[in-house]
């Protein structure tokens, strides 16, 4: 980066040779400037500093930074064959008043990065003034996503940079003139875009990156495309998987006429393109790329929280889906290629369970923050929920919520099966008395979930106490597999704090067997959204289960260890299906799912993937797959397809 760029950022530190280090310095400076703003800018989000952070965690931090997308135009000077947005191109521009309002909305929402997009944003007649406006409103980083043709005009580029433009992301789908022009649908597209890129690189002030939309027309030469732009000096790339909308896929013409490609055949080519970039020290990203394509390159799987952007972009359609309708884009062939396919399937499954009268298959997750909503839903939909899945940190918090629920149940005569899920069960015996107080006549504790080895003794005492003093008068929901009316299930998360128990399976089984009132102890992979949380708290499940996995697949009689939603290649046993649940916080008063609020829950509980290798596994049809965050941390290589002996 040139001297002007350093001065613009107020940066006097060494940048280092690596583009990754350069990115970290930029992010540190943006975060630092945010923290040092005057009172008028005190609402800015404070982003995490980057020094001494693992690359995986740094990538998460970048994905979590507060961005605000501003769509300036609904027109474009290209006609790209992969454009997913072509149906929305009506030729309109955002007015200056509207641009100000949208930018102010972002600042009010604590965004510090403005991303200007379109259509093609640079053809907005007042683009430079909008950049200046974003800078004056306090955005610390202003980025444009562009085809770059307007930036071939040197004076226009300089005006943009002088106004405060910080980063330019060029969308460049090919490296050869004929192929490039055919993809973008413009005869002089390659020459103008390339001139714009060279101008920006020569100036030295902006951060320059290249987006490559991977489609049928260019996937075979993707490594060559990356190599070409590396040769020009580009050191940051984002590989975007095509999405089946707009010109990319016309349902009337079918797959053969689309720009969708065979993902299995493309996987090694995409991985080779990433490798080409890494060899030159480039920073590589992927966008909407199916995780299965990146086995061996799992650190480049896009942070799943970016699903929120996809959901926001199709919110009206998804809201209609959540309310019982269908998506306007629904098409069996299209859905197979859509990045939202897992999300939509999860939403529809739970939507249908919410409307199934007398189904009682769905557990309502409740926390202290959502108890009012939960009470309303229980009262309004008494025949829908199998019971309450209470998530609390400690016993006193659980008691507060349980008392409120029990009071409501006594008033309407509705008994409630209860799963207690606590991070800290505590060490005092009075906790057991508190949890089984006689006033809670309508609550039946059917499962205790715990996350620390030291809490095993407490939950065992709880099980024994429940059986001896109150018992469970009726069989719990069918979701609690194979439990009896006089026992409860214990469920233990696999993490660093419980690993000692996993290393001593005979001792774990012995302690459970000796305790009356317990039917089984079910092991599960912890629910995580953030990669940083998983890396600091969890362990590689294959390593953690290595001793348990040597047991025979058909467990010996009296074996109390089971595996909840676990790939059989990790447990060597048939998995117990995950219990269907939904947080009260994502439902409105009518029990309709909020698509945006649903994103984090989906990532934590149902965003599961497999390797392409898993297609040959005997258990492919029943395997639940690996949670996305676990796969990002430990790799898809921990999955080992199983085959029946010949």
Q: What does the pLDDT look like over 64-120, one tens digit per residue?
A: 678 899 999 999 999 999 998 888 889 999 999 999 999 999 999 999 999 999 999
Other CB atoms within 10 Å distance of the CB of residue 14? 8
Q: Which of 258, 230, 243 is nearest to 302 (CA)?
A: 243
- CA 436 to each of CA 235, 368, 395, 398, 418: distance values in angstroms, whole numbers, following the listed order: 61, 19, 12, 12, 12
Q: Is 452 helix (H, G, I), strand (E, B) or coil?
A: coil
* DSSP characters over 5-34: HHHHHT--S---S-HHHHHHHHHHHHHHHH
**Could you tell me the residue ranges of all domains in the chain?**
3-302, 362-579+607-638
Q: Cα dist. 292→301, 344, 420 in Å?
A: 9, 18, 35
Full DSSP string of 410-449: HHHT--EEEEEEES---S-THHHHHHT-TT-TTEEEEEEE
Which portions of the chain are predicted below pLDDT 70?
1-58, 60-61, 63-64, 358, 412-415, 427-442, 469-486, 549-558, 644-646
Nearest to 548 by CA among 591, 505, 489: 505
Q: Do domains 3-302 and 362-579+607-638 have the same CATH topology?
A: yes
The pLDDT of residue 25: 52
Q: CB–CB of 623/570 below 8 Å?
A: no
| Torsion (CA) 402, 407, 412, 413 in degrees, nearest 10 | 70
What whole-number distance in Å separates Cα of residue 99 and Cα of residue 97? 5
Backbone angles phi, psi at 553, to 5 degrees: -60, -40
The two three-digit tokens of residue 144, written as one number: 């444009």
Angle at 553 between CA 548 and CA 557, to 5 degrees: 90
| Whether the Cβ atoms of residue 241 and residue 287 lie closer than 8 Å to each other | yes
The CATH code for residues 362-579+607-638 is: 3.20.20
Place of tokens 């690359």: 55
Domain 3-302: give its CATH architecture: Alpha-Beta Barrel (3.20)
**CB contact at 8 A, 235 and 202:** no
With vertex at residue 559, the alpha carbon angle to CA 557 and CA 565, rounded to the nearest 5 degrees, is 125
User: Rg of the chain's alpha carbons, rounded to an integer?
Assistant: 27
Q: In a 10 Å sphere around its CB, with 0-12 CB exposed, 13-18 middle and 19+ buried, how is residue 265 labelled?
A: exposed
Closest CA to 425 of 391, 445, 450: 450
Q: How many CB atoms lie within 10 A of CB 557?
A: 5
Assigned token pair, 396: 């006193």
- The answer to whether the beta carbons of residues 397 and 428 sit under 8 Å apart is no
First to last CA, the chain: 61
Q: What share of the chain is helix, strand, coil (3-state, %, to 5)?
A: 45, 15, 40
- State the number of CA atoms in the 13 A half-sphere of 480 facing the CB: 32
Q: What is the pLDDT of residue 351?
A: 96
Contact 289, 270 (CB under 8 A): yes
Overall pTM surpassing 0.75 (yes/no)? yes
Strand 488-494 to strand 518-525: parallel, antiparallel, or no bridges (unpaired)? parallel
Report the distance separating Cα 282 and Cα 300, nearest Å: 13
Of residues 54, 58, 4, 71, the one with CA closest to residue 31: 58
């Amino acid at each position: 980066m040139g001297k002007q760029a350093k001065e613009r950022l107020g940066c006097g530190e060494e940048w280092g040779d690596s583009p990754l280090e350069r990115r970290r310095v930029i992010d540190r400076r943006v975060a630092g400037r945010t923290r040092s703003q005057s009172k008028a800018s005190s609402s800015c989000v404070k982003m995490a500093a980057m020094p001494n952070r693992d690359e995986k965690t740094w990538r998460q931090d970048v994905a979590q930074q507060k961005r605000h997308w501003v769509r300036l135009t609904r027109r474009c000077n290209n006609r790209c064959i992969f454009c997913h947005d072509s149906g929305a191109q009506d030729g309109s521009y955002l007015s200056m008043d509207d641009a100000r309002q949208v930018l102010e909305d972002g600042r009010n929402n604590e965004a510090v990065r403005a991303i200007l997009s379109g259509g093609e944003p640079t053809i907005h007649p007042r683009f430079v003034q909008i950049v200046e406006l974003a800078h004056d409103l306090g955005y610390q980083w202003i980025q444009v996503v562009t085809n770059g043709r307007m930036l071939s005009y040197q004076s226009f580029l300089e005006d943009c940079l002088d106004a405060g433009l910080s980063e330019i992301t060029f969308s460049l789908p090919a490296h050869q003139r004929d192929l490039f022009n055919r993809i973008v649908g413009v005869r002089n597209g390659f020459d103008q875009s390339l001139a714009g890129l060279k101008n920006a690189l020569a100036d030295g002030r902006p951060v320059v990156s290249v987006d490559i939309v991977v489609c049928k027309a260019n996937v075979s030469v993707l490594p060559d495309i990356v190599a070409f732009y590396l040769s020009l000096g580009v050191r940051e790339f984002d590989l975007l998987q095509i999405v089946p909308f707009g010109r990319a896929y016309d349902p009337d013409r079918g797959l053969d006429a689309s720009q969708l490609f065979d993902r299995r055949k493309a996987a090694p080519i995409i991985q080779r393109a990433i490798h080409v970039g890494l060899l030159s020290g480039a920073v590589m990203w992927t966008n909407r790329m199916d995780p299965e394509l990146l086995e061996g390159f799992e650190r480049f799987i896009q942070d799943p929280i970016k699903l929120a952007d996809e959901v926001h972009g199709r919110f009206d359609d998804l809201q209609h889906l959540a309310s019982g309708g269908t998506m306007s884009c629904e098409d069996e062939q299209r859905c197979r290629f859509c990045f939202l396919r897992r999300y939509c399937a999860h939403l529809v499954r739970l939507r249908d369970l919410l409307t199934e009268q007398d189904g009682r298959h769905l557990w309502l997750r409740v926390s202290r923050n959502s108890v009012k909503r939960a009470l309303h839903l229980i009262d309004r939909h008494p025949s829908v929920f199998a019971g309450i899945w209470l998530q609390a940190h400690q016993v006193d918090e659980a008691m507060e919520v349980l008392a409120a629920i029990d009071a409501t149940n006594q008033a309407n005569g509705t008994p409630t099966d209860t799963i207690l899920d606590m991070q800290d069960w505590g060490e005092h015996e009075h906790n057991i008395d508190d949890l089984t107080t006689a006033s809670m006549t309508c609550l039946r504790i059917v499962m205790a979930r715990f996350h620390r080895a030291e809490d095993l003794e407490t939950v065992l005492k709880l099980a024994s106490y429940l059986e001896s003093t109150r018992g469970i008068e009726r069989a719990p929901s069918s979701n609690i597999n194979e439990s009896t009316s006089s026992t409860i299930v214990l469920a233990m998360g696999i993490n660093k704090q419980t690993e000692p128990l996993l290393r001593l399976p005979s001792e774990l089984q012995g302690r459970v067997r000796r305790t009356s009132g317990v039917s089984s102890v079910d092991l599960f992979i912890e629910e995580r959204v953030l990669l940083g949380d998983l890396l600091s708290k969890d362990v590689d499940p294959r390593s953690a289960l290595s001793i348990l996995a040597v047991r025979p697949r058909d467990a010996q009689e009296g074996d109390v260890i089971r595996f909840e939603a676990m790939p059989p290649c990790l447990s060597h046993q048939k998995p117990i299906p995950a219990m269907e649940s939904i947080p009260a916080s994502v439902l409105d008063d009518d029990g309709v799912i909020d698509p945006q609020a649903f994103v984090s829950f989906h990532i934590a509980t149902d965003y599961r993937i497999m390797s392409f290798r898993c297609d040959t596994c005997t258990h492919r049809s029943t395997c639940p797959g690996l949670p996305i965050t676990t796969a990002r941390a430990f790799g898809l290589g921990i999955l080992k397809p199983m085959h029946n002996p010949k």
